[in-house]
C-alpha cells in the first residue's frame, strides 16, 4: 500500500468529540524525539478539546535504576489509554521498543485508533524481532507515521506486517528565523561548518580530514565546528584541526538560539558525513538549507531524498567521504544562486510538511 501524503493545507477546525491521548517524551532533555513530541502537542492542541499528554521522558537516573524508571514512566502513560478514541505513540528505538509494544497492545485492546510515530532507521535497515512484535501486536489497522517516502518504502519492504503508512515530514520543526538570514554572496573562500553531538558516527573525523587536506592543497577555507563533545576521540580531532589549520579553525561549543543562527549565517557549506544508526531525516540539514547553506552529506537513512531537491552533494558513505569530496571542493565556489536553491528546497519541504500534518489531523478519530 502506498504511503499517504498531501492534503488541504488549511486543516480541520476543532474536533470537539474526539478524545486524543499522546504518549511520548517531552523536553527536557531536548532531543530529536522530544522536539517532535512537543511540536505535535502544540499543533494538535488547538484542534482537540479532549487531549491528554503522557510524558515518557526518563530524565536522569542511576544506571541500575534506569530500567525501573522506564517501566514506571510507561506504566504511568498507560493510564492515558482507557477512554481515548485515538492514541498517538512515539516509538522507542532499541530495547525500549518492547515497552512501546505493550503500549500499542493496550491501545488495541481498548479499541482505539492507533498511530505509531517512527523516528529511527535502525530497525528499518534490517528486520528485528522487536519491530515484528510491535507491528503484529499493534495490528494491521494501525497507522505507522514515518518521515519520508523512502522511509515508508523501506519500512514496508522489511516489515510486510505494516499495512498503513503516513508521512509527516519534520521540516516544520526548524527555527523559521533562519529564513531571514541573508543569502550567501558570490565568493571564492569556503567556510565549512559542522554541527552535531560530536562523536565519530556523526563524522567529525572526516570533517577535519577533509578540511586539512583541502588546506594542504591550497584551497582557501575556514572550518567552524559546533556542538557538545561526546567522547575523547572527538576532542582529539578538534585538537588536530587546531594544530593543522590554526586561525582558520574555530570550535564554538554548544550552539543554540542566536549563536546557532550566527553559525549558519557564516558558513557556506554544511558537512555532515554521518553513518549514525538512527539517522533518518536530520533536522540540522533542514536548518542549513533554510539558511541558504549547501549541504554535503552521505547516503544514510533518508538523506538522499531530503537533499534531492537541493544543490546538496552526497558521498556514498562516511568511509569514502573525504576521497569523494576532495575533487568537489577543489573546484567549488560560493554563489547566491546555489544559496537560493538550497533555501527554496527547504521552503518546498516545509510546505509539504504542513500538508502532511493537515492530512494527519483530518484522519484522527475517523476509523
Give pLDDT tens digits for 86-101.
Answer: 999 999 988 889 999 9
Q: 273's torsion region: left (phi>0), alpha (psi -120 to 50) or beta?
A: beta
pLDDT recorded at residue 10: 42
Whole-prediction pTM value? 0.91
Q: What is the mean pLDDT of residues 39-60?
A: 89
Give pLDDT tens digits for 226-276.
Answer: 999 988 999 999 999 999 999 999 999 999 999 999 999 999 999 999 999
Query: Could you tell me what percent of the chain has a pLDDT over 90?
Result: 82
Average pLDDT, the chain: 92
pLDDT recorded at residue 113: 96
pLDDT over 80 at 224, yes or no: yes
Confidence of residue 76 (pLDDT cuts 50, 70, 90): confident
Give pLDDT tens digits for 14-38.
Answer: 566 899 999 999 998 888 888 999 9
pLDDT recorded at residue 118: 97
pLDDT recorded at residue 3: 57
Domains of the chain: 15-168 (3.40.50.11930), 176-347 (3.40.50.2000)
pLDDT recorded at residue 74: 79
pLDDT over 70 at 1, yes or no: no
pLDDT recorded at residue 13: 55
Distance separating alpha carbons of residues 138 and 87, to the nearest angstrom: 11
Give pLDDT tens digits for 300-349.
Answer: 999 999 999 999 999 999 999 999 999 999 989 899 999 999 999 999 99
pLDDT recorded at residue 69: 72
For the chain, the C-alpha Rg in angstroms (whole number) is 21
Helical residues (DSSP H) of the chain, grouped into ranges? 32-44, 66-78, 97-109, 129-138, 149-158, 204-216, 232-245, 257-266, 283-290, 303-307, 321-330, 336-363
Q: 337's torsion region: left (phi>0), alpha (psi -120 to 50) or beta?
A: alpha
pLDDT over 70 at 125, yes or no: yes
pLDDT recorded at residue 5: 47
Amino acid at each position: 500500500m502506498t504511503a499517504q501524503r498531501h492534503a488541504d493545507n488549511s486543516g480541520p477546525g476543532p474536533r470537539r468529540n474526539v478524545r486524543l491521548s499522546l504518549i511520548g517524551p517531552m523536553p527536557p532533555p531536548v532531543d530529536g524525539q522530544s522536539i517532535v513530541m512537543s511540536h505535535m502537542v502544540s499543533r494538535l492542541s488547538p484542534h482537540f478539546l479532549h487531549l491528554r499528554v503522557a510524558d515518557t521522558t526518563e530524565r536522569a537516573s542511576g544506571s541500575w535504576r534506569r530500567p525501573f524508571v522506564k517501566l514506571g514512566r510507561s506504566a504511568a502513560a498507560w493510564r492515558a489509554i482507557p477512554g481515548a478514541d485515538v492514541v498517538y505513540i512515539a516509538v522507542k528505538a532499541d530495547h525500549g521498543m518492547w515497552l512501546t509494544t505493550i503500549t500499542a497492545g493496550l491501545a488495541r485492546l481498548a479499541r482505539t485508533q492507533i498511530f505509531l510515530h517512527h523516528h529511527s532507521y535502525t530497525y528499518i535497515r534490517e528486520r528485528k524481532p522487536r519491530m515484528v512484535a510491535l507491528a503484529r501486536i499493534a495490528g494491521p489497522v494501525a497507522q505507522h507515521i514515518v518521515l519520508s517516502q523512502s522511509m515508508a518504502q523501506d519500512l514496508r519492504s522489511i516489515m510486510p506486517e505494516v499495512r498503513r503508512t503516513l508521512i509527516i515530514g519534520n521540516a516544520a520543526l526548524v527555527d523559521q528565523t533562519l529564513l531571514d538570514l541573508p543569502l550567501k554572496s558570490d565568493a571564492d573562500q569556503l567556510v565549512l561548518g559542522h554541527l552535531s553531538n560530536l562523536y565519530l558516527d556523526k563524522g567529525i573525523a572526516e570533517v577535519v580530514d577533509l578540511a586539512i587536506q583541502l588546506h594542504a592543497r591550497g584551497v582557501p577555507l575556514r572550518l567552524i565546528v559546533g556542538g557538545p563533545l561526546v567522547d575523547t576521540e572527538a576532542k582529539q580531532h578538534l585538537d588536530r584541526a587546531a594544530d593543522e589549520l590554526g586561525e582558520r579553525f574555530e570550535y564554538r561549543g554548544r550552539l543554540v538560539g542566536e549563536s546557532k543562527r550566527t553559525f549558519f549565517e557564516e558558513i557556506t557549506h554544511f558537512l555532515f558525513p554521518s553513518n549514525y544508526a538512527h539517522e533518518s531525516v536530520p533536522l540540522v540539514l533542514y536548518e542549513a538549507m533554510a539558511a541558504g547553506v549547501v549541504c554535503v552529506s552521505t547516503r544514510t537513512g533518508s538523506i538522499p531524498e531530503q537533499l534531492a531537491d537541493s544543490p546538496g552533494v552526497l558521498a556514498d558513505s562516511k568511509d569514502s567521504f573525504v576521497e569523494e569530496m576532495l575533487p568537489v571542493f577543489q573546484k567549488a565556489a560560493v554563489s547566491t544562486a546555489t544559496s537560493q536553491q538550497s533555501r527554496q528546497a527547504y521552503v518546498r519541504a516545509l510546505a509539504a510538511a504542513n500538508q502532511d500534518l493537515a492530512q494527519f489531523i483530518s484522519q484522527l478519530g475517523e476509523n
